[in-house]
Amino acid sequence: MNKHRIILASKSPRRQYLLKELGLDFEIRTKDTDESFPPGLVAEGIPLYLSRKKALAFKNELTPGELLIAADTVVWINNQVLNKPVDHADAVRMLKMLSGNMHQVFTGVCLSSTEKTVSFFAETKVYFKPLTDQEIDHYIHHSKPFDKAGSYGAQDWIGLVGVKRIEGTYFNVMGLPMFELYQELQKF
Amino acid sequence: MNKHRIILASKSPRRQYLLKELGLDFEIRTKDTDESFPPGLVAEGIPLYLSRKKALAFKNELTPGELLIAADTVVWINNQVLNKPVDHADAVRMLKMLSGNMHQVFTGVCLSSTEKTVSFFAETKVYFKPLTDQEIDHYIHHSKPFDKAGSYGAQDWIGLVGVKRIEGTYFNVMGLPMFELYQELQKF
């Protein structure tokens, strides 16, 4: 499907799992990147910017024939972005914002080689039922969602019992838009 | 969350996995049931009928305090139901019907105890991109989807690369509508 040697620039076990399911051989290379972004960016503009920033960090290390995949996922609600929670109270605050509301999940992906760079994104709308305080506490206590944008994983307990509807793809919410990625890898 | 001793009447490893993720203890009891249904039934009427039929097969064996969960999932397209494929050619035929089209996935669930019986269902719309003959053959050859209604699993390779959008919940497409099940178990 793609003749490049593929490199996934992500520590996320969910992204690693999904790329494996695609049936591709790949290598994992990661770097800590500063996740700040210019204040004017909104919605998909943020993960598009951050995934490109993650990719650029590897710019001088790629060799011909390598294709690097970098991605960033954000939760967007009420015109603001929810990052990874800093502590339990922050996770409670985020889940209370999501409770009973629709939010958008945007993943930006940047594919790069020594020859070119391609960016794309996917959007999924996620509708949470009203969550009780007990459900929020139970979830944070058991699943410790501190590595997850917006404080939840769609594949976790809270995703099973709390998400009443999505519009878009599920894998985008998990962190990697497989449908779009597959198309872009074929074209790259 | 529910004081009953829960019994799952399903051989599906996906349903067993999902119920485990809900954090409930449960036992598995299965029976082979004739999956025929009256010709007048359409859409959600079919899995509602079949899940009730599966539950009724256990009627005389339930003891007080037990709660049995039976479910049936169908793929509905062009006013017809797609069952499990009988062979490779049948799977090709079904995937060609789904290719480039929207279909509906309905799961009917029947909860029963010695005291009462409750039925409900969930619907998810699934949109496939146009699939190539190579993609269809590759998938059937590698994943052998002969135990799956409509010849595909949403969690399989073909679901990752072929599904461009869903409307509803992902877990319903996997075979058990967790959002609705959680609510109904709380009320039962």
Question: What integer is the mean pLDDT of B101-119?
Answer: 98
pLDDT at B56: 96
Q: How confident is the model at residue A3 (pLDDT cuts 50, 70, 90)?
A: confident
Residues of chain A in Cβ contact (below 8 Å) with chain B: 18, 21-23, 129, 142, 154, 157, 160-171, 178-179, 182
Residue range A144-157, pLDDT digits in tens: 999 999 999 999 99
Write out the two tokens for A155: 């594949």
Question: What integer is the mean pLDDT of A138-142?
Answer: 97
Tell me the three-class secondary structure of chain B, residue by residue: CCCCEEEECCCCHHHHHHHHHCCCCEEECCCCCCCCCCCCCCCCHHHHHHHHHHHHCCCCCCCCCEEEEEEEEEEEECCEEECCCCCHHHHHHHHHHHCCCEEEEEEEEEEECCCCEEEEEEEEEEEECCCCHHHHHHHHHHHCCCCCHHHCCCCCHHHHHHEEEEEECHHHHHCCCHHHHHHHHHHC
Choose among A23, A164, A168: nearest Cβ to B157. Answer: A23
Residue range B127-165, pLDDT digits in tens: 999 999 999 999 999 999 999 999 999 999 999 999 999
Residue range A35-70, pLDDT digits in tens: 899 999 999 999 999 999 999 999 999 999 999 999
Residues of A in contact with B165 (CB under 8 A): 167-169
| Mean model confidence pLDDT for chain B | 96
* B72 classed as catalytic: yes
Residues of A in contact with B170 (CB under 8 A): 154, 166, 170
CA pair distance B92, B137, nearest whole angstrom:
7
Q: By CB neighbour count within 10 A (0-12 exposed, 13-18 middle, 19+ buried), where does A181 fall?
A: buried
pLDDT at B2: 74
Residues of A in contact with B179 (CB under 8 A): 129, 160-164
Write out the two tokens for B141: 């050859």
Question: What integer is the mean pLDDT of B75-93?
Answer: 96
Q: By CB neighbour count within 10 A (0-12 exposed, 13-18 middle, 19+ buried), where does A63 fall?
A: exposed
pLDDT at A115: 95
CA pair distance B33, B4, nearest whole angstrom:
24
Is residue B103 within 8 A of residue B81, CB to CB? The reply is no
pTM value is 0.95
Residues of A in contact with B22 (CB under 8 A): 157, 160-161
Choose among A18, A161, A165: nearest Cβ to B168. Answer: A165
Question: A169 and B164 in contact by Cβ < 8 A?
Answer: yes
Choose among A157, A164, A179: nearest Cβ to B169. Answer: A164
Residue A1 clears pLDDT 70, i.e. is over it: no
Q: Which of B25, B34, B72, B156 is catalytic?
A: B72
pLDDT at B1: 64
Question: A163 and B169 in contact by Cβ < 8 A?
Answer: yes
- Cα–Cα nearest to A63, from A110, A116, A114, A4: A114
- Cα–Cα nearest to B170, from A43, A35, A65, A126: A126
Residue range B16-57, pLDDT digits in tens: 999 999 999 999 999 998 989 999 999 999 999 999 999 999
Per domain, the residue ranges of chain B are 5-187
Higher pLDDT among residues A187 and A3, named by residue: A187
Residues of A in contact with B169 (CB under 8 A): 163-166
Mutate to test the interface with A, among B18, B107, B179 (most CBs of A within 10 A): B179
Question: What integer is the mean pLDDT of A160-166?
Answer: 98
- Cα–Cα nearest to A181, from A24, A11, A12, A5: A24
Q: What is the dihedral of CA A55, A57, A60, A62, to 10 degrees?
A: -40
Chain B, nearest residue to A24 by Cα: B157
Q: What fold does the segment set A5-187 form as a domain? A: Maf protein (3.90.950)
Q: How confident is the model at residue A11 (pLDDT cuts 50, 70, 90)?
A: very high
Q: Are strands A66-77 and A5-8 parallel, antiparallel or unpaired?
A: parallel
Q: How many CB atoms lie within 10 A of CB A130?
A: 10
Question: B179 and A163 in contact by Cβ < 8 A?
Answer: yes
Residue B176 clears pLDDT 70, i.e. is over it: yes
Question: A166 and B169 in contact by Cβ < 8 A?
Answer: yes
Question: What integer is the mean pLDDT of B88-116?
Answer: 98
Is residue A69 within 8 A of residue A28, CB to CB? The reply is no
Residue A125 clears pLDDT 80, i.e. is over it: yes
Q: How confident is the model at residue B3 (pLDDT cuts 50, 70, 90)?
A: confident
Lowest-confidence segment of A1-10, A94-103, B106-115 by average pLDDT: A1-10
CA end-to-end span of chain B: 10
